[in-house]
Structure 1
Amino acid sequence: MRTRRVGKSVTGTVLIMLLAGACGTSNPTGDSRKEVEPPVPANPPAVDPSTLSLPLDAYRSTKAEQQTIHDGYSRLMVDCMKRYGFDYSPSRSTGYLEQRNTRRYGITDSTHAAQRGYHPASSVVEKRRSAAAKPAMSASAQSVASGKGQSKRNGRTVPVGGCNGEARRTLLQGLRQAPRLDLVDELALQSYDRSLRHSKVVAAISAWSACMAKSGYNYRTPSDANNDRVFNTDEPTAQETATAVADVACKKQTNLVGIWSTVDIAYQKRLIEQNAQALDLVKRALTTEVKNAAAGRGIRSE
């Protein structure tokens, strides 16, 4: 069984996750339903989602930065856990998504659709199975790693938040104010939610739905097709791949992704202006993390 929801661009400072479904979220900038729609071109150009860059991506780590932070965090965790008598085995991969916006608007690759439908690539499935097969840490080790347990072990005081908390604080050392680490994700979700209500996107989705109906598929939105429980199988069925192929074809025919991403970008630019100070802190925190991780700040030698 798998989860196949689209719309949310998810990344933390150390872990960047696969795009997931768009759900409700808080709105610190006010009621978006009352705001004026941002102007967009009458005929937005078609775009390639695999290379699409959105404004909020500027506040996320690059692949190189992510690897640096991951390596620094891993060394700090190994060092801290060793102080309490545990061997810590960090993951080799950061989980970085080089094509983070590829499925923000649903499936768009016709080849993938024909082979895997709405399922993730087989290589992704194998990586998940491999990760699940790895032995888990003992309960005692998890307690020290997370700080959710006794405050002392073998006479040593466990850091607040465990070794994880200590590592995070070390990477942010030198930053006077802690950032909202979920802010970029929240704003990206807000722009997605607002774009869904924009008149041009509503019209484009309606056109996509009409296109799908001509092929015999009655879905109101791309999310309805992507999340159809009939496709909740271990491997894609012929019905699923056929639906996905039609889905991609209709997106291209209606230029849904070109229109949708143009509106999404307009909302992200507006949200960046409204949250400039908080986003600047996020950017400075990222710079600080990379600097500290590269310098081995607070990391003890073996």
Structure 2
Amino acid sequence: MGLRGMTRWAVTRWAVAGLVAVGLAGCGSDASGRGEGDPGVPSVKADEDLPELPLERYEFSTRDNRRHTEAQARMARSCMRKLGFEDFPLHPKQPQGSVTLNAVAMSSYPYGPLDLDSARRWGYGWDPELSPADGARHEGRAMTADEHKAMYGLSREPAEGCARSGTERLTEGVRDKRRMWTYAPGRSRSLDKAVAEDKRVREALDTWSDCVESKGAKRYKTPGDAFRDKAWHRGSDRGGNTGQTKKELATATADVECKREHNTAGVWWAVREEKQRADLARHKDVYEAVRADQDRVRANVRRVLGGAHPR
């Protein structure tokens, strides 16, 4: 899941972007074009300022994913215990000597990081004591080599591995699994391509680029380009974390500061919302079918977890 002395040229570009934002928000916008107080263009300075987008209702939420992961972990542990691994932990680490590269997702895609304190301290990376996926501290002992084989189907039994043994139970009753997992994210990605070409977003990103450059950082076309800059040296020895050099910290800070100053994420969100709302109206029946299948998974997860409340 705002951004972070401008030159005269940059000020001119901001004036243009301000007019674009005014057009987006309507007459209720203030003179800066930020849409302060107008629901059309929210003022976004932090992740919690981002309103829900229309298609988010048709994707699993962070809470859904956390509960699904917990249910899978419980079923995997039960499977492992049946195989004789009586003390298998609920949330084991990978075996010593195995190399695992964490999948790094850009915070608040596609807007990039919005937390100024985190940008100043960790740049485009994260606190190495925390998991990049959900901010949880690692817990549980490491799996043994034999446990690892059984967990991931590298031994004879069970063939699919305990990690996947409960998958069918969690998707019981689902009409179309592929559609459930991929339809809304796929539509969102497709629509985001159109959003990126929208004049309002291009103007907002040009203004952000000018601002970042004026603060002494390299010029980037988008926050995603800044996040993915190879200069940050993400390494497998750090699980995909960055080197967090002075240059990286300064760039990430400028990135977030400029997004805050020009409400880049607010304008961007408003265009995404507009296009998603139109797509939802065109394909309402499909979206509702997806939602029904997701509700079946949620019901299955509730049965596994019972009254438990995963962190």
Q: Does 1:174 align with 2:181?
A: no
With over 3 angstroms needed to count, the CA separation of the structure-2 counterparts of 1:107 and 1:176, relative to structure 1, is closer
Which aligned runs of 4 or more in structure 1 are off by greater than 6 angstroms? 126-130
Q: Which residue of 1 aligns with 2:103?
A: none
- Residue 40 of structure 1 deviates from its aligned partner by 4.4
| Residues 74-153 of structure 1 aligned to structure 2 (within 5 Å) | 74-87=73-86, 88-91=88-91, 102=108, 104-124=110-130, 131=138, 135-136=142-143, 138=145, 141-142=147-148, 144-147=150-153, 150=156, 153=157
Q: Does 1:283 align with 2:288?
A: no
SS of residue matched to 1:195: helix
Percent pairwise identity: 21
AA in 2 matched with 1:195: V
Where structure 2 has 5 or more consecutive residues not aligned to the other structure, the ranges are 2-22, 27-32, 34-40, 94-105, 235-241, 306-311
Which segment drifts farther, 284-293 or 42-51?
42-51
* 1:197-239 superposed Cα distances (whole Å, 9 cap, x missing partner): 1111111111112222323334132233222222326542222
AA in 2 matched with 1:47: V
AA in 2 matched with 1:118: Y
Distance 1:227 1:144 in 2: 36
AA in 1 matched with 2:44: V
Q: Does 1:220 align with 2:220?
A: yes
Distance 1:83 1:217 in 2: 56
AA in 1 matched with 2:226: A
Q: Which residue of 2 aligns with 1:231?
A: 232
Distance 2:246 2:270 in 1: 33
Q: Which residue of 2 aligns with 1:36?
A: none
Q: How many residues align?
A: 246
User: Is the Cα–Cα contact under 8 Å of residues 73 and 163 in structure 2 kept in the other structure?
Assistant: no
Per residue, is there more strand in 1 or in 2? 1
- Residue 266 of structure 1 deviates from its aligned partner by 2.0
Q: Which residue of 2 aligns with 1:23?
A: none
Distance 1:82 1:281 in 2: 37
- Residue 251 of structure 1 deviates from its aligned partner by 1.8
| Residues 1-302 of structure 1 aligned to structure 2 (within 5 Å) | 40-41=24-25, 43=33, 44-51=41-48, 52=50, 53-62=52-61, 65-87=64-86, 88-91=88-91, 102=108, 104-124=110-130, 131=138, 135-136=142-143, 138=145, 141-142=147-148, 144-147=150-153, 150=156, 153=157, 158=158, 161-180=160-179, 181-221=181-221, 222-232=223-233, 234-296=242-304
SS of residue matched to 2:216: coil
* 1:234-268 superposed Cα distances (whole Å, 9 cap, x missing partner): 54222222222222222223221111111122232
What's the Cα RMSD here? 3.6
Distance 1:147 1:275 in 2: 39
AA in 2 matched with 1:186: G
Distance 1:295 1:78 in 2: 16
- Residue 148 of structure 1 deviates from its aligned partner by 6.2
Which segment drifts farther, 110-119 or 83-92?
83-92
SS of residue matched to 1:124: coil
AA in 1 matched with 2:142: P
